[in-house]
Amino acid sequence: MKSYLKKPEPVIPDTNLGPPKTRRRTNQSLSITADSPRCRKQRGFTLIELMIVLAIIGILFLFAVPAYLGYTVKAHLTNVPLKLASFGANIELRKGDGDTIEEICSPTVPVQWNDSVLKSMTVYHTTGDPANCVVEFSIDSQFVCGNAQMCRAIFEYVSPTNWKIASASEVKCDVEPPGGVFGSLPGKYWFKQYC
């Protein structure tokens, strides 16, 4: 009597060569989105992009650098005459600084004043003091230094164009020592007055 039971099929080991097993791939396993870590790691600039950027920067420098250098040269050329003029004025002042009467001590010193306050002015050199000039001026009742109507001011050694007296009322009396007053004129020039 035949047995109707099937014999078990022999088990083929994995090491046995055979046709490759096929796997089903779904659409989900094949899709890679832009936000996936794999895609983010591969981002970067190509060599052509870098060369284009460098070419643009080079063209900008080609026009910008010469223009900037031209502006700096013009600025220096503008400052040179001003510095030389100031230097020349200082040399002239140093050259004239001696025991002789200077031009700034002549009666034609350009000093501005208010005619209603200052009536007259006389300028002469201080004996033995080449760095100072003495200015005597008479005043009216708006400015009284002590009880006298005549005051003497000794100015610092400055160029005539820097002497500024807007009005005698701007000169303040400060009796410090007795018989003398100290103050400053507009333009930060110090002087002494003796009444």
Q: How many helices (H) and strands (E) does the chain have?
A: 3, 5
Token reading at 99: 């025991």
CA distance 192 to 152: 8
Residue 71: what are its φ and ψ, rounded to 5°?
-65, -40
Q: What share of the chain is helix, strand, coil (3-state, %, to 5)?
A: 35, 20, 45
Segments in the chain below pLDDT 50 = 98-195
pLDDT score for 38 = 58
SS3 of residue 103 by DSSP: helix
pLDDT at 70: 82
The residue written with tokens 């500024």 in the block is: 164
Distance, first Cα to last Cα, the chain: 161
pTM: 0.22
128: left (phi over 0), alpha (psi -120 to 50) or beta: left
pLDDT of the residue at 51: 94
pLDDT reported for residue 52: 94
